[in-house]
Structure 1
């Protein structure tokens, strides 16, 4: 008697496992993911309050693991000030609260334009222009 080949069994097991896990991974990543966009009204110890475009106040929870970017550059929570336009990428928790994973912010759009600048398809803060007379170099991101 010759032994059964092990490779086809392992391949079948891997395919079945992957097929069963793929929907669970997709749900874990996208089901409760949310974006909150608005103007920062208040920066608290463990939360942000944003005013959305429909003039509603939305509180977003933060923690030491929340990341912050100002015009594409990593910064800290202390750099976020009331009046700045922000886009929060987060997760909706079981209790209904939004927990921020990434907060992107910058200056509000210029008055009179009626829309945010950029062209990413996602409404995000407009980049801060370089200071007059100084060189602006990109880091190659």
Structure 2
């Protein structure tokens, strides 16, 4: 499915507007910060989804073919940051905000490369096992 420049630019403007609102909501402080911080992170995730259909998404699609394993590493890092900062800390701060923004991109690119990375890890484990069996002789 190929979009022309106009619709992609429009999607970019909308995603940027959502990101702006998400940043403003996330930065708000006071008695409602317990609600505004998670809301800002969720809006950042939605903005990240919007950026996937834009010019940025097309550029990142080309980059994913070049460095797919970076997508898996980014996926692991983003999930870890959001889980620790929001799940354990209870207050999603700036790291969780930006990890949520990048999470949709890393879900798309990381999940596509996950089987290849799993094969690499499996062959690395096999090499370690072979070396350990040689040491035992």
TM-score, structure 2 as length reference:
0.20
Structure with the largest fraction of helix: 2
Structure with the largest fraction of strand: 1
Structure with bigger RCO (C-alpha 8 Å, 6+ apart): 2
TM-score, structure 1 as length reference:
0.20
Larger radius of gyration: 1
